[in-house]
Structure 1
Amino acid sequence: MIYAALLAFAAAPSPTSEGTAFFEAKVRPVLIRHCYECHSEDARKARKLRGGLLLDSRRGIREGGDSGPALVPGKSADSLIVKAMRGHTSQMPPKGKLGDDLIADIARWVDLGAPDPRDGAVLIAKRNIDLDAGKRFWSLRPLHVTTPPNVKNNSWIRTPIDRFILSQIEARGLFPAAPLAKEKLLRRVTFDLTGLPPTPEEIKTFMHDTSPDAYPRLIDRLLASDRYGERWGRHWLDIARFAESGGYEFDGDRPGAYHYRDFIIKALNADMPFDEFVRLQLAGDELKPGDLTATSATGFLVAGPYPGQTTAKTLEPIRYDHLDDMISTIGTGLLGLSLGCARCHEHKYDPIPQQDYYRLIANLARTDSTRRQMDPDPEAFRQRKAAFDTAHAPFVTARDRFAKEQLPAKVAQWLAQQPKSAATWLTLDTINVAPQPKTLTLTGRTSLKGLTAIRLEGPGVHDATFNVTAAPLTGNPVAVKLKPVRDGVALAETPLSRVRVAISTQSLPSVDAPSVPQLQSEIATRIAAKDMLGTLNWFRVVDADADKVLSALEASAKNEPKPPAVEVFAATSGRGGDVHYLIRGETEKKNGVARPGFAQVLMSTPEEAARWHRNGKEAPTPRVALALWITDANHGAGHLLARVMVNRLWQHHFGKGIVRTPNDFGAQGDAPTHPELLDWLASELIAGGWKLKRIHKLLVSSAVYLQSGEVSATASKTDPRNLFWSFVPARRLEAEAIRDSLLAVGGSIDAKMFGVGTLDENSTRRSVYLTVKRTRLIPMLQAFDAPEAIQSVGERSVTTTTTQALAMMNSPFVRRQAELLAARVKSERPEASVEAAYLYALGRRPSEGETQRMTGMIRRLIDETKTPAAAMVDFCQVLLCVNEFITID
């Protein structure tokens, strides 16, 4: 841990009374008079602080500002403060150079060791990060796999895990706890893997199954259940700080965010390799463009809170905050490292230079959130489209055959029958068209005399009724004739954006639409171009056979399926600009452009970064490169990723992790209690293709897991924190599991999976499908310590409060489940009802004493004017309020 130690201030002469007196007489007055205006705490408060340098305290002058330490005790020639006063760097103070005698006093003071009585703070020099030492730290070094150790009590061993644990138990003179009772084991493993209690039928089946493989088969059944993904998906959503709104004062909704939750559940149920699971969450949209599942996975990056309003002034700071949220979540959630702590300075404890922080967020420079419309089931659409194409093909064939075999002769015959010339129409200049729902008022002018007909053309015109209000051509009403243009032709070839009026002076003008000369011209043009399909579209106006063929084709085309579109809230690669190194993390103080890179301590050499930026024939995007680096167990951060994840699995099965700070594998976190076991499990995860279910089965099959919670007197004295796992302590269920258990025992739980969630706290859906709105969290879940989804949560708080008891006793939701449970266990004999209720609620039969007490309570309630049904409801609610209901032994 060499790299993590804070470096003590370099040895310097101790302050003496002479030196202190010199400071007070000669130095402090100069600083006050000439420096404090720009370099003091008061200047900071007034927003006048320059260069980040504080000269009004001992710590401030030693630590220095943006340019580094202001002085080197004992070496005035090397001290920035003396150089600045002498004008060797920038001129300080800026109003004018100090007198030579004052500068000489400052230099002498520095040479004396800069004795400074202003405060007694411990002096901390800026860290020099030793990356080589950092690479030897337990969590950052490569995996070191050892053979499971020998133990004395080999009969206790069920898996290699047990050897690592038992060797430590034996070394401390402890003994494993007795095995857990079979029915309690069923309840423990069922809750651990599915988050729901076992049903009475499942209890009966397991208790009567005496075959050696009864428990392994139970594990396989639970891991294969869809409920497994819902249970462990909720654990992961804590890590991802998942919510379906933006937070802050506006807390705008994110309607498509639920797709990320659905991705997590589906991926876990399918036992997707964990490295792929991570890669998709970092760069799924770029690894598999257009794929809804992969795109949804990137909701991980943008799940954090984001302000609902931005201004030109706040846009850049918010952008850097957004990038910080992403990399901080990647750090704590995936790597167990507080990467965000290097935003403003070198990491205080871990080997993460500030430069590495900005290189890491540079991989995310173009990343932003988006609301994208996508097909939720492309394969289903492809199948529907293929079926349509098959059904539509005969109509296309019929059209093509007609155009090839019949159309040429029909067109030739029709052209031969047309007169040499045809009466023509003159289109009026439209002066005014005022459309109404059923009325068109038309005003036009013409110089023609002897008007005999009016023609109206326009899109969707089907009514030929005219009311002539002014026709100053003759004293008689004008005759009106109309044959509207067929919609198919007009829309296909000559769409009109306005109504047109044409008039004619011919005695018998042609009223065929769109007009014989126009048809002749259009058809001739398309025949010359050998465009038979275009010819057919025009010819259908005058030929019933052509129209029949095309009408059938059009009717079939109306059945063509369109891909359904759903909104997905996910990450996208936008047009974000460069990421700059920021002095003290302040956007106004840029210090060069940061290029995409990785944490040096998790690479063999800095040059190795090219491995992920030049992967394969085509250079991947920076975000893809980041995903490849994090999951590369041989050269990148994959070994740390594996350690962190197996620790999370252990934590949720045993209550605490092998590393008891699951989001901090750095120097400030706890060291592993069993480092060899941690590395062995991480190696097993990688060697097994990153499959999580395999590790689950190893853990819950171990003799360690099968222990009861009985604590021996020796263990209580020598291992009170249970660091060495000589027993498995009882655990309280999480908020969602408590609520789901209520629904399960009441028989009202809705098994529907996926889709849009709900804010209705009385909903019967599993709690993982309740909408997480940051400013409107479900009260019951809050009471039992559900997180606020502001940042990655590796381990929830577990509290015991009166609010929890009141919620269970007074909640209408709990009362409703008690009513439903009472109906399920209704019997003529109270003893039978009590036994059935215990099986549903607690997973076991009541003892004789419990049966007597509970039946006695029911009878007393009946005697107190309660009906038998109401008394049974009261009993069931009491049972739901006992501590055992919300606890796993």
Structure 2
Amino acid sequence: MLRSLLCILAFSAPVLIHGADTSASDTKIPFERVEAIFNSRCVDCHGPEKQKGGFRLDLKEAALEGGDSGKAIVPGKSGQSKIVDLITGKDPEEIMPPKGERLSAEEVAAIKRWIDQGAHWPEGKSAAVTKKSTHWAFQPIVRTQPPRVKDAAWAKNPIDNFVLAGLEAKGVKPSPRANPEMLVRRLHLDLLGLPPGPGVVEAFKKDSSPGAFATLVEQTLESPHFGEQWGRHWLDLARYADTDGYEKDFYRPHAWRWRDWVIQSINQDQPFDQFTIDQIAGDLLPNASLDQKIATGFHRNSLLNREGGVDVEEDRTKIVVDRVSTVGTTWLGLTVGCAECHTHKYDPITQKEFYQLYAFFNSVEERNIRAPLPEERGSVQRMESELTTAKRAYVQQSHPELERWAAKVAKLPEIWFTPGQESYELPTFGANNGANLYHQEDGSFLVTGMVDARCHYVMMLNTETNGITGIRVEVMTDEMLPNLGPGWASGGEFLLSELVVESASLKAVNQLTNHPIASVVADYSQPGYGIERTIDGNHDQGGWSIHRANLPINGVDRCAVYTLKDKLGYDDGMRLKVNLVQHHGRSHTLGRLRVSYTTAAPEQLDSQAVPERVKEIARKDVAARTLDEQVTLKRYYQATFEPEAAEFLAITKAMADAPGIKGQVEAQILAERQNSRPTHVHVRGNFLDRGPRVEPGVLAALHPLKSSSGAKNRKDLAEWLVDPANPLTSRVAVNHIWRHLFGEGLVATVGDFGTQGDKPSHPELLDWLATEFMRLGWSRKELIKLIVNSATYQQASDTRPDLAEIDAKNRWLARQNRFRLNAENTRDQYLAASGLLEPKVGGQSVATDKPRRGLYVQFRRSQPEYMFASFDAPNSTFACPARERSNTPLQALTLMNDPLFLECARKLGAEISNQAGPDNERVSQLFQRTVARAPAPSEVTAALALLEKARAYYQANVGAAGELLGKSREGSDPAQAAWTVVARAALNLDEVIMRE
């Protein structure tokens, strides 16, 4: 009911006369008049903050859609509009407002007449936009001139003018410049995530030139470790992980290819606008490069549920929702995901707009592609050229029998229906193990992931079709499979043990009935493994295979046609279940397959055992066939009828040895479906409850979307995000960068620029940086260079008593901030200080005991490395714009006792122990390696005292020395053990894991 729907239509006239004459005047009621009534009387309870009765009057789409009781405004028909009944008091039990004054007769008449005149509501005009138009984040970015300051000598660039002007207005002075040791270490930690190497601090201290620090900045930005550090920040937003998540949490062996693309792109200083476009729509760019396709792996980081019994469509929906939410958080700094189930409570984002954004990602499909590493690409291109030459030679040889056979195949009637090909409705197709079945545009499924040796593939489909007589199973080749497939065994083999067909009425879907199969034919069977063995009822003895010893006849599509004993169908619709049982073991499972059904007469089916791809090629004119189609047709014919032909054996070997088949790394990408899925609003977020259909679109509160083509796609969305007219993207991006250089963003709520987020501490500076970022060609390195060369960045981080009360959180920036390193950087400090760190950039993810940077440690969602979890690493479930920073006893215990950190102390202690010179000099070296500075006299005294105590202990307890060093008693060295104790203490200084 709409009783609560209009509780705030409250109002000024004491009495209304229902049925007042609204036709007395034909004067057109402007929307502005009605909007004023809505704004003043309605939006407090039916606006962005409250939606009583599920109804909003601040947004056009929401107002016309109605609330929980249906439509409240019916354009052209005030008599059928619930809002009129309520405000006129037609039903005394449902009068609005329930208390207080009612609307005046003039106000009611205006609303009625406005509805009768069509309820004209201009696009872009809404009470929500009106009410929120003053929110700072939705305003156009304005570049202001840096203000004049009194202490002009302090300012190194315009950033300092903005900061100093604010400080001077408050009567506060900035902090002095940090000492050289602190400044160099800060720069290295911020830009590289690693401590400065030996001699870097001393070289900087000796350089007295005015541009010494700027030179150091340039050198640091050129380090390949820059991409690792800033790539790690981006991975937080992208919710990167090496596993799927959920209970099974299967490993993703190729996820690292996208991670390495990020590192490479950042090191190359790819402009942020192109960095954005590549990740959202790299596959849609003209002549998209391999790197641009790999970039779309950004959206392959969503969780994926591959547990048994999962509703595939439900999981796909969750993934699309995640992609929309991630884009909103990452680029817009908005909690867009809050509009999945209802219009956003606080920000101008309607539920319809959420699903308009959803539509951009609703028609993508996930693919894995062969992706040679950069160093392999030259040889791969050369080998592909050689293969093309071999293919041309193969098809140029005349073969009259082939053409006569192809002519017969071309005449076969088209009788098969493939679910998910002719319509967007997909069957539920899953496996009882960790296999992941990716739907392809031709209706087939490509199987990847952790495929068990024995498994079932099950297709479930709801259909209105009656009279189904046959089932076709095509086993198909794919370049992702060994030797082209169609199976996952090393030679492309498979073995289908049994095929079981069941059905049930849609009124009783759990009451499945098994349907016997009358006969089955296949286009080819391995001797002793005929297709008839798939209907003998014995799952564990034999089955259908197409392998033939010593002959490479795999790598071609094959087909089996099953004729049912009885026709299938129900008057009220049918659930069809096809179970493909594979019990042979040794990875003899299908790699790509397609299941179709037909209602054709049974006598037609035996001649239909020809793969659809082969029939499609045969139907084409010879001159219209592509080179690959000619090869496919001829290879199929020869594999079936002439498997020992020399030319067939030669081309098959050439294709099997080609770079697209063997020895290449894969990458996870997104690609657009040829046939788009329609998108509907999900009522209350329920994907089964479809509301109105929507087309791709963007937020009305922001600038309009431009489309280079008729159909709006992800490329248009990406370009909309980085359009200079977008008031959010550049602001959000520079705020992220600022946070990583100061520990806090100019907008503290880096993931929420909406009305519930914090206001910027320096709004003019934020806008100036946003415009400067774009002026610099969206260069991340140039913007960072500008910021770190500022006097603001170079201030000391010491706390100041004079600011303790008035600016405890340092929002005025009168000093730098001191904060903890993130989990990965903490680990990196230990490895770097000890000399254990392997400096290699890129490559596959590694186990936690390997001395690689934390960025490369395999991240399992269900069981993350406990050190990372202890130090607040995100769980990679959602985009993480800002990590938590905590200080717990568990962290200290981890750093003291974790085997990896103990090994770092051993290595560092051994190196210091083996150095020549007096102990005090060795203590100095220890401090240089751990905190990049010389120790204070008191620290030297304390370290030497600890050293002497440890020496005495281990000389008296040689066995304990061996235990500490992980060696036998005979191999132990008390002196090294003593230095290990001192190194362990130095590594556990608070300063080691702090950025100052």
Q: TM-score, normalised by structure 2?
A: 0.60
1:561 deviates by 5.8
Query: 1:595-610 residue pairs with structure 2 within 5 A?
Result: 595-603=695-703, 608-609=704-705
Q: How far, CA to CA, are the matches of 1:109 and 1:218 in structure 2?
A: 70
Q: 1:52 to 1:350 in 2, by over 3 A?
A: closer
| 1:792 matches 2:879 | yes
Aligned-pair distance for 1:734?
0.7
Give the counterpart letter for 1:718 in structure 2: I
Which residue, out of 349, 354, 357, partners 1:352?
Answer: 349
Matches within 5 A, 1:374-773: 374-377=371-374, 379-381=377-379, 384-385=382-383, 562-563=659-660, 564-574=663-673, 577-603=677-703, 608-609=704-705, 611-612=706-707, 615=708, 618-619=709-710, 622-634=713-725, 637=726, 639-758=727-846, 760-773=847-860
The 5-angstrom pairing of residues 115-264 of structure 1 reads 129-264=127-262
* Change beyond 3 A, Cα 1:111–1:273: closer
Asked if residue 367 in structure 1 is aligned to residue 364 in structure 2, the reply is yes
Distance between the aligned counterparts of 1:299 and 1:7, measured in 2? 47
Q: Aligned partners of 2:910, 2:98: CA distance in 1, in Å?
A: 88
- Aligned pair count reads 653
Q: Shift of residue 660 of structure 1?
A: 0.4
Judging changes above 3 Å, is the alpha-carbon distance between structure 1 residues 683 and 558 closer, same or farther for their aligned structure 2 residues?
A: closer
Report the CA distance shift for 1:884/1:109 in structure 2 as closer, same or farther (over 3 A): closer
The counterpart of 1:850, out of the listed 939, 944, 963, is: 939
CA distance in 2: counterparts of 1:292 and 1:386, whole angstroms: 15
2-side partners of 1:460 and 1:302: how far apart? 40
| C-alpha deviation, 1:865, in angstroms | 3.1
| In structure 2, C-alpha distance between the alignment counterparts of 1:687 and 1:388, rounded to whole Å | 46
Give, in angstroms, the shift of residue 256 of structure 1: 1.2
Which amino acid in structure 1 is aligned with residue 721 of structure 2?
Answer: I
* 2:380 counterpart of 1:292: no
Q: Name which of structure 1's ranges 648-657 and 588-597 shifts more when overlaid on structure 2.
A: 588-597
- Cα separation, partners in 2 of 1:556 and 1:810, compared to 1, 3 Å: closer
In 2: Cα distance, 1:7 partner to 1:881 partner: 63
Give the counterpart letter for 1:837 in structure 2: L
Q: Distance in 1 between matches of 2:811 and 2:905?
A: 39
Verify: 1:862 aligned to 2:945, yes or no: no
Residue of structure 1 equivalent to 2:633: none
Question: Per the alignment, do residues 79 and 233 of structure 1 end up closer, same or farther by CA in structure 2, a change over 3 Å counting?
Answer: same
Partner of 1:818: 905
CA shift, 1:136, in A, is 4.2
Deviations along 1:696-744, one digit per CA (max 9) or x if unpaired, are: 0011000001100133333222211211100112111111001011110
Return the letter of the residue paired with 1:376. Answer: L
Mapped partners of 1:229, 1:679: distance in 2: 26
Deviation string 1:654-686 (CA, Å, 9 cap, x unpaired) is 010000011111101001111111111111111
Partner residue of 1:875? 982
Contact map agreement 2:9 2:97 (CA 8 A) in 1: no
CA distances 1:82-111 after superposition (whole Å, capped 9, x unpaired): 89xx9x9xxxxxxxxxxxxxx76x357977
Aligned equivalents of 1:223 and 1:10: distance in 2? 60
Change in Cα spacing, 1:585 to 1:113, as seen in structure 2 (3 Å) is farther
TM superposition shift of 1:211: 2.1
Q: What one-letter code is carried by the residue in structure 1 that aligns with 2:750?
A: P
Q: Is the 8 A contact 2:6 2:97 kept in 1?
A: no
- Structure 1 residues 460 and 266: CA distance shift in structure 2, 3 A: closer
Following the alignment from structure 1 to structure 2, what is the Cα–Cα distance between the partners of residues 582 and 705? 47
Distance 2:672 2:828 in 1: 38
CA 1:389 to 1:777, structure 2 compared with 1: closer, same or farther past 3 Å? closer
Tell me the distance in 2 between the aligned counterparts of 1:716 and 1:585: 47
Q: Give SS of 1:368's match.
A: strand
> Per-residue deviation at 1:389?
9.6
Residue 672 of structure 2 aligns with an amino acid whose one-letter code is S
Q: Cα 1:602–1:847, aligned 2, differ >3 Å: closer, same or farther?
A: same
Q: Which runs of 5+ in 2 are unaligned?
A: 15-52, 56-65, 103-124, 398-524, 529-547, 552-646, 956-973
**C-alpha distance after superposition, 1:212-263 (max 9, x if no partner):** 2221111011100000000000001001111121211121222111111111
Aligned to 1:885: 992
**Residue 290 (structure 1) shift:** 6.0
Deviation of 1:645 after TM superposition, in Å, equals 0.6
Q: CA deviation at 1:792?
A: 0.8
In structure 2, the CA distance between the partners of 1:773 and 1:14, relative to structure 1 (3 Å rule), is farther
- Describe the shift of the 1:561–1:112 C-alpha distance in structure 2 as closer, same or farther (beyond 3 A): closer
Q: How does 1:32-47 map to 2 (within 5 A)?
A: none
Paired with 1:306 and 1:345, the residues of 2 have a C-alpha distance of: 25
Query: Could you say what secondary structure the match of 2:366 adopts?
Result: strand
Change (3 A) 1:700 1:831: same
Letter in 2 for 1:633: P
Amino acid at match of 1:720: A
Identity over aligned pairs, percent: 32
Cα drift, residue 559 of structure 1: 12
Aligned equivalent of 1:500: none
Task: Provide the secondary structure at the position in 1 that maps to 2:701.
Answer: helix
Which structure: greater helix fraction?
Answer: 1
Task: Note the C-alpha offset of 1:860.
Answer: 1.1
Question: Take 2:172 and 2:740, find their aligned partners in 1: how far apart are those partners?
Answer: 24
- The structure richer in strand per residue is 2
Task: Tell me what 1:44 maps to.
Answer: none
Question: 5+ residue gaps in structure 1?
Answer: 1-5, 16-50, 54-62, 89-102, 116-126, 401-432, 437-457, 462-549
> In the alignment, what sits opposite 2:266?
268
Q: C-alpha distance in 1, partners of 2:320/2:761?
A: 34
Please give the alpha-carbon distance, in whole angstroms, between the structure 2 residues aligned to 1:821 and 1:386.
Answer: 50
Specify whether residues 845 and 8 from structure 1 end up closer, same or farther in structure 2 by C-alpha distance, changes over 3 A only: farther
* Matching residue of 2:589: none
1:12 CA displacement: 5.6
2:8 corresponds in structure 1 to 9
Structure 1 letter corresponding to 2:946: M
Q: CA deviation at 1:358?
A: 1.3
TM-score normalised to the size of structure 1?
0.67
Answer whether contact 1:129 1:351 (CA < 8 A) is retained: no
